[in-house]
A and B are shown apart, each in its own frame.
Chain A
Amino acid sequence: MTAIEASGLTKTYPPDVQALDGISFTTQEGTVFGLLGPNGAGKSTTVKVLTTLAHPDGGTATVAGHSVLDAPAKVRDSIGVVSQKGGLDREATGRENLRLQGQVFGMGGRKLAQRIDELLVQFHLDDAGDRLVRGYSGGMARRLDVALALVHRPKVLFLDEPTTGLDPEVRAEMWDEIGRLTSDGLTVLLTTHYLEEADRLASQLAIVDRGRVVVEGSPDELKRELKGDAVHVELDRETDEATVRAALEPIAAINELLLNGRSVHARADDGARTVPGVLAALEGASIDVAAVTVARPSLDDVYLRYAGRTFSQAESQSTTEQEGGR
């Protein structure tokens, strides 16, 4: 069964920031679907549209069988949302936050009280439930965010950058927590700019760049498609692209070649064996090399292949063109 279907969503923020440029994808019920992309790729805007917070300029979407445009109230009844900013009332206790959230969804009485106790235990907050959220650590607040989104047992859970800003240790705990969520049929849409997070949690991935999906598949499928290891050569100085290509293209073991400033990204069936030939060829063309690395295929390589730039480059480029919202 389809849980989320986005089709050709577009949205432009004034004056002319194109946050979404026809984004489309489909997710299956009971899976964790990852939207992976650098900051500013349009992930948060996609979540805002799918959760009925923002209105798209074009395109359509259904969530849990309801159209976000025609039946937003029905969509809201069936979703739980953890936004990037969280959304906790810091001047209330954890339990009060949970209670109000439940009441807003029409819950109350003993049933709600039981559900709150259950969630506090599930998210290891049973000792902190009656303390003000203001005193919570980052990890505790994040766990409460997720608990809040689950009070009314939603069909679809949206997690927008759930581990951004958390310590690595806390992040790992959060991953375990999220990994357990789908066991009872919940569909999760996870956005992240951490490659490792997407790799670990998502069963299906859409890589997003500049408001579009550039490639879709399971993390393993995507990596398998790359055929071979990544050989990354850092040149001593910026060199004419044609010269580098002329030196390296004759090497038979190289399947793919991508140049980006001083960086040369090559893909080869057996990375380690290819390196001496690559170095010799570059030396022969009088191109000085600063560093060489060989790695097994990663999602970073997938991103590089489909978006034409490395993930970290995209991240630093996007700091100037921040994603929509405020």
Chain B
Amino acid sequence: MKALRDTQHMTVRHLMALWRQPWWIAVTLVQPVIWLLLFGALFGTVTEIPGFGSDDYTQFLAPGVVVMTAFFGSAWVGMPVIEDLDRGVLDRFLVSPVRRSSLISGRLVQGALTIVIQSLIIIVLALIVGATFDNSIAGVAVLILVSILIGSAFGSLSIALALLARQEQTVIAVISFLQLPLTFMSVTFMQKDLMPEWMQTVSDYNPLNWAVEAGRAAVSADPDWGWIAGRAGLLLAFLLLCGFLAMRAFRTYQRSV
């Protein structure tokens, strides 16, 4: 109970900070809009490749961009942790009865709410440019759910990284290094069958790919809900592992104080 209440209080703190900088959400939307509109238009003809299987690239791309935006955005969740560290805010909480886990979960919940808002904006935008989302509310809900799962997992990793590196430059470097390769080794932009074989193998172990595959399936016609649930289960397991790592990073930080 205390953990839940603390999470709620911490979430309110982070939401207030976000509320005071609403342009931040707008900034994080610039990229997905570019991917969806420019990239979508530029590579529209890839659907003509034999075996692509879909005839509208924007339609194919839209759920991928939703998941990718959640993934890109969550990678920065750890950055304000470094500011808390430098300003002594973290130490202040560590000598209070606050549950350690709420220092992580509060940020994740705020991140999840941000993902919901961003996803809805992207979906509306995709609808305007002609994409369709099957399975109505349920499909979109599952798409957003897997986005939250992947976002929270990488958000936890980002927090762990921030606590260990304690330097913004390091966190930025590691995240930038990982973001695009993980994205390219997923079905975000390309059908799996058309990827080189080794990339197909890698993508099987890429959590981002699990999320894109599940999210895209959820908004296509005749989804295999059982398979989607399996992917969501994998993502949940990955999230728990990342959350555990973040808790460990807290302990490592405290040992060094």
Residue ranges of A at the interface with B (Cβ–Cβ < 8 Å): 48, 51-55, 73, 76-77, 79, 81, 83-92, 96, 100-101, 103-106, 132, 148, 325-326
Contacts and interface: CB of A to CB of B under 8 A. Distances in A.
B257 A53 contact: yes
Contacts of A90: 87
Contacts of A73: 97
Contact of B91 (A85, A104, A105, A148): A85
B95 A79 contact: yes
B6 interface: yes
B248 interface: no
Contacts of A79: 95
Interface in B74-104: 84, 86-98
Contact of A325 (B12, B16, B92, B257): B257
A86 B96 contact: no
B95 A53 contact: yes
Contacts of B27: none
Interface in B229-257: 254-257
Given A89-B87, A100-B12, A104-B97, 18 more contacts: A53-B94, A53-B254, A79-B95, A83-B92, A86-B88, A87-B88, A88-B87, A88-B89, A90-B87, A91-B16, A91-B17, A92-B13, A96-B13, A103-B9, A104-B98, A106-B97, A132-B20, A148-B92
Contacts, number: 77
Nearest to A45: B257
Interface in B147-197: 166
Contacts of B97: 73, 76-77, 104-106
Contact of A53 (B20, B87, B91): B91
Interface in B189-243: none
Nearest to B96: A104
24 contacts: A53-B91, A53-B95, A53-B257, A55-B254, A55-B255, A73-B97, A76-B96, A83-B88, A87-B90, A89-B13, A89-B84, A89-B87, A89-B89, A90-B87, A92-B13, A96-B16, A100-B9, A100-B10, A101-B96, A103-B5, A103-B6, A103-B9, A106-B97, A326-B257
Contact of B89 (A54, A87, A105): A87
B107 to A, nearest CB: 13
Quick one: which of B10, B17, B97, B254 has the most chain A CB within 10 A? Answer: B97
A9 to B, nearest CB: 15
Nearest to B86: A85
Please list the 4 inter-chain residue pairs (A to B) with the smallest Cβ-Cβ separation, ordered nearest first: A85-B88, A87-B92, A87-B88, A104-B98
Given A104-B97, A325-B257, A87 B9 contact: no
A54 B257 contact: yes
B17 A92 contact: yes
Contacts of B84: 89
Given A48-B257, A53-B254, A87-B91, A104 B20 contact: no
A92 B12 CA distance: 11
A76 B98 CA distance: 9
A104 B9 contact: yes
A36 B48 CA distance: 78
Nearest to B98: A104
Nearest to A102: B9
A76 B95 contact: yes
Contacts of B12: 100
Contacts of B90: 87
B91 A83 contact: yes
Contacts of B256: 326
B80 to A, nearest CB: 9
A104 B166 CA distance: 25
A18 to B, nearest CB: 16
B83 to A, nearest CB: 8
Nearest to A48: B257
